[in-house]
Structure 1
Amino acid sequence: MTGVKQLYDYHLWANKRIFNHIEGLPKETVYQEVKSVFPSVCDVLLHMCTTDLVWLRTLSGAAYEEVIESAGKFQAAAKGDMKAIKQQALELETLYLNLFSRLADERQTISFHPPKYGKLVTTYADVIQHVVNHGTYHRGNVTAMLRQLGHPGVPTDYVYYLYEKKESKG
């Protein structure tokens, strides 16, 4: 596995580590209010999952209005519901992998035009890189928030992913 598919595989691996780690903590931990970028760990994970949905729908060619509508529906349905957020993350994994299987060239260009930012022509690879970077940033928020709440975080750095993949091949 190389390139953007490996980066996305890392993103999945890191998200699963976060979800699995959280499941081992007291249930109320993810809902506790924290003075941070988001009011709770659950809210960070909802944001991450919503953003992954937005970019999947964008990469799949959905119109801007459809993308925003589907994101809003998901957020309304999953707010405060870790089970729904985790389920959506699993469904998104399948849908992204499906997208990769249909994508002939990750350097293929795509254009989109959100009203706030204007038109952008970029590659699928660049958007996936953004999805992964966005996830990495917010997994850091989760770790910081967990520590504020008196719980350890879980390592999700890319190098840990590489070591784990090496060990599973070895």
Structure 2
Amino acid sequence: MTDAKQLYDYHSWANERIFHHIEKLPEETAYQEVKSVFSSVSDVLLHMCRADYFWLNILSGSAYQEIIDSAGKFESAKGNMAAIKQHAAELVPQYHDFFSRQTDLEQTFSMQHPKLGTLESTYTDTIQHVVNHGTYHRGNVTAMLRQLGHSGVPTDYVFYLYEKNESKG
């Protein structure tokens, strides 16, 4: 089984590819309204960033309401790709710091949700969720870009593995 740290590295690699690709497109592309799950590409990326922040804080043991209260800092990034990219970039070393403090990613921890109740999960399973969530929404971004007349960028896990393998050689 692939370890959680590598899956997270894939996730951050894929997000970087998306941001880099969008930077090469006409600037308005990120903000154009699209009839989709989100109204614009930038809205999807902001949602992904917020979710990554949320899950990092859950993994770190923060209380649900505390996380919700602190997530307001992302509101100023709405409609600002540079700010969204900056927030996303800031999360990467924070996740790496989380990993460096863990001795057992298979350890079970509890998370509390006001409506869903208590969930016992492992750190690894929660990281897998973060990665799956990102993969799903990167697919949304690709579909939206195609609706706007632009190509997407490959972010499949196998492309990450090929690139990682090439960098070793």
- Name the structure 2 match of 1:52: 52
SS at match of 2:143: helix
2:70 is the alignment partner of 1:70: yes
Instruction: Give how far 1:63 is off.
Output: 1.0
Question: Does the residue aligned with 1:76 lie in a helix, a strand or coil?
Answer: helix
Matches within 5 A, 1:1-170: 3-71=3-71, 73-170=72-169
Q: Using the alignment, how far apart are the partners of 2:134 and 2:51 within structure 1?
A: 9
1:7/1:132 contact within 8 Å kept = yes
In the alignment, residue 76 of structure 1 is paired with which amino acid?
Answer: E
CA displacement 1:4-51 (0-9 Å, x = unmatched): 110000001100000000000000000000000000000000000000
- CA positional deviation for 1:161: 0.5
Amino acid at match of 2:59: L
Q: Structure 2 length as normaliser, TM-score?
A: 0.97
Alpha-carbon contact 2:63-2:112 (below 8 Å) kept:
no
Contact 1:50–1:74 under 8 Å retained in 2: no
1:59 Cα deviation after fit: 0.9
Deviation, 1:83, is 1.1
**Structure 1 runs, 4 residues or longer, greater than 3 Å off:** none
Report if aligned partners of 1:30, 1:41 keep a CA contact under 8 Å in 2: yes
Report if the CA contact (8 A) 1:42-1:82 is conserved: yes
Deviations 1:72-120 (A, max 9, x none): x133221111111111111100100000000111001110110121100
Aligned equivalents of 1:64, 1:7: Cα separation in 2 = 24
* Residues matched between the structures, number: 168
Q: Distance in 2 between matches of 1:166 and 1:100?
A: 22
% identity of equivalent residues:
69
Q: What amino acid sits opposite 2:5 in the alignment? A: K
The alpha carbon displacement at 1:136 in A equals 0.2
